[in-house]
Structure 1
Amino acid sequence: MDEQALKIDPLPKVWDPDARIGQMLEGKRGLIVGVANADSIAYGCAAKLRAFGAELAVTYLNEKSKRFVEPLAEQIEASLFLPLDVEEPGAMEKVFKRIGETWGELDFVIHSIAFAPREDLHGRVVDCSKDGFAQAMRVSCYSFIEMARYAEPLMKNGGSLLTMSYYGADKVVNHYNVMGPVKSALQATARYLAAELGEKNIRVYAVSPGPLKTRAASGIADFDELVDAAVKRSPAHRLVDIAEVGRVVAFLVGGGASGMTGDTIYVDGGLHNVA
């Protein structure tokens, strides 16, 4: 039984599709970056990937966040639990060095981090400070490039790199502000990485969930308004949950998506198709 799924799914299920899939990721090892609490998209991905048999390395931002993330890492039986602040020089290199020393290879990376200074996130793009824009790009986009660089030599038999985007990268979404251009750059980065790493059988995807009530999303001004609009406009008139995102990520990491790379995969209940 998929116990992790039952813990994070908000609605009870008579039949859990994950239980039928079974251990399709047995033997795969991956790094999850971005778990902050039980509502994090990264945690939804981690719980599903572990439930399907993957072995995981999980990072935490700093000592303050460690007490929230450590119980979750223990729950999903993470083999490695490591600190990672992508703005700290040398921190990412240490994480991948530890993975190399412990596992010797890596099958996937889930990049689920983003940041912009509050004053820049809440202001117009035209008023965004140079330093604020640079920091948003550094944390939210360039860190994915760095992870790909460190992961490449460890993906000896191929692998997959996934990052989290949002519909505000494609269209103007009220209050998303500077994160729109930043996520657009992230999606373009995924395409270019896919082109460069394809010959090594390393696949790259941007996953674009609909609005989710995560800690990171709470920093967006009038986020409740954005959520209400998504529920009203989406075909099913509901939000997706982190478990649904996790299932799609498991598909992309597994062999079922071997013929796909460079794509932005929408997990938003069809919201992006509605004008």
Structure 2
Amino acid sequence: MQLFEGKKGLIVGVANNHSIAWAIAEQIMAGGGECGFTHLPDKPDDERKKNRHRVGKLIDGNPSAKFLVPLDVQSNENIAEVMETAKQEFGEIDFLLHSVAYASLEDLRVPTVECSRDGFKLAMDISAYSMIAVTNAARPILSKNSSVCAMTYYGGERIVPGYNMMGVCKAALDSIVKYLAFDLGPDGVRVNAISAGPLKTLASSAVGAKGMTDLYAAVSPLGDNITHEQVGKAGAYLLSDMSQGVTAEILHVDGGYNQMGSPGRLLDSYAELIAKSK
């Protein structure tokens, strides 16, 4: 029996084939699960429907991908429509993946102290509050022992220069995950988050994560950076029955980087470099 055989769920936040949400969805569908997908709304004047096209070409012809609909997480009405689609297709859902974050470049690329009031509200609404809104709307169709998972990052726990306002949003999201886990616990619903190391995604490009992959490889205990497949498997674990008994957790998939109190072996390389320069 496959891990997700007979399981059905909703994947919110796939942007393209580099999305972590897609890596997780691939593992789920390979394990026998059925998924409904959402995509970013396309602008009315976009005749090519770029956002829909990017996701559509990933799932086209895959019998495990049951629907693809637009979702504006700032609209309660649109969220309700998506849940109604999931209800009509699946009846109940066994897993829900939330992989949504946004901040305007004007507010993301300045020091946090200079973030605008409107920029703060927009980033928090989309990156943090949407987790509450989507999960609450899904409650009537979440099955017993179902699982909800969000995507976070270490920049919400520690200062990561350049991550700026998004770090503040992730800190809020981390707390939301824990409180939702408490709220939904009596219904048998688990709520967790994946904190992945740096990967090539649209989101990482926006926050200027270039070069972070080399840093993680040099500092982490495993001596390497992570892959999309590794995060995909970890996400699938949290959304499967294999993680029953696990809730309110932030699962770091970063080669152990988050546990380092110093640059570790990178110090040895630095010492060698200094010695050669003398």
**Same fold per TM (> 0.5)?**
yes
Counterpart of 1:154 in structure 2 is: 141
After superposing on structure 2, the runs of 4+ consecutive aligned residues of structure 1 that deviate more than 3 Å are none
CA drift of 1:88 comes to 3.9
Q: What is the aligned partner in structure 1 of residue 275 from structure 2?
A: none
Flag the structure with larger Rg: 2
CA contact (8 A) 2:76 2:133 kept: no
SS at match of 2:223: coil
d(CA) in 1 for partners of 2:212, 2:107: 18
Mark the CA change 1:94 to 1:133 in structure 2 (over 3 Å): closer, same or farther: same
Gaps of 5+ in 2: 42-48, 262-278
Taking the TM superposition and a 5 Å limit, the aligned residue runs for 1:86-235 are 86-88=73-75, 90-221=77-208, 223-235=209-221
Measure how far apart 1:226 and its partner are. Answer: 2.4
Superposed CA RMSD in Å reads 1.3
- Rounded to whole Å, the distance in 1 between the matches of 2:223 and 2:60 is 35
CA distance in 2, matches of 1:70, 1:255: 28
Find out whether 1:67 has 2:53 as its counterpart.
Answer: yes
For structure 1, list consecutive stretches of 5 or more residues without a partner in the other structure.
1-21
How far residue 75 of structure 1 moved from its aligned partner, in angstroms, is 5.4
Please name the residue that 1:46 is paired with. 25
Task: Note the C-alpha offset of 1:237.
Answer: 2.6
Distance of 2:26 and 2:89 partners within structure 1: 21
Task: Count residues with an aligned counterpart.
Answer: 253
Deviation string, structure 1 residues 32-59 (Cα, Å, up to 9, x no partner): 1111111110110110010011100011
CA distance in 1, matches of 2:74, 2:246: 31
For residue 154 of structure 1, report the CA deviation from its aligned partner.
0.5
Deviates further, 110-119 or 241-250: 241-250
Give 1:263's aligned residue. Answer: 249
CA-to-partner distance for each residue in 1:141-184, whole Å, 9 max, x for gaps?
11110111111111132311100000111110111101111101
Q: Distance in 2 between matches of 1:176 and 1:75?
A: 37
One-letter identity of the residue aligned with 1:231: A
Tell me which of 56, 67, 71 is aligned to 1:84. Answer: 71
Q: Which stretch of structure 1 is more off in the superposition, 111-120 or 238-247?
A: 238-247
8 Å CA contact 1:30–1:109 kept in 2: the answer is yes
Preserved CA contact (<8 Å) 2:153 2:170: yes
Instruction: Kindly indicate whether the alpha-carbon contact (under 8 Å) linking 1:86 and 1:139 is maintained by their aligned counterparts in 2.
Output: yes
The 5 A counterparts of 1:1-80 are: 23-62=2-41, 63-74=49-60, 76-77=62-63, 78-80=65-67
The TM-score, its normalising length taken from structure 1, stands at: 0.89
How far apart are the structure 1 equivalents of 2:20 and 2:236? 13
Q: Does the 8 Å contact 1:46/1:76 carry over to 2?
A: no
Asked if the contact 1:240–1:269 (Cα under 8 Å) also holds between the matched residues in 2, the reply is yes
Q: Give the Cα–Cα distance (whole angstroms) in 2 for the partners of residues 38 and 75 of structure 1.
A: 16
Q: Measure the CA separation in 2 of the matches of 1:271 and 1:143.
A: 28
Distance 1:265 1:89 in 2: 29
Q: Which amino acid aligns with 1:189?
A: I
Q: Which amino acid aligns with 1:41?
A: I
Letter in structure 2 aligned against 1:248: A
Contact 1:212 1:240 in 2 (8 A): yes
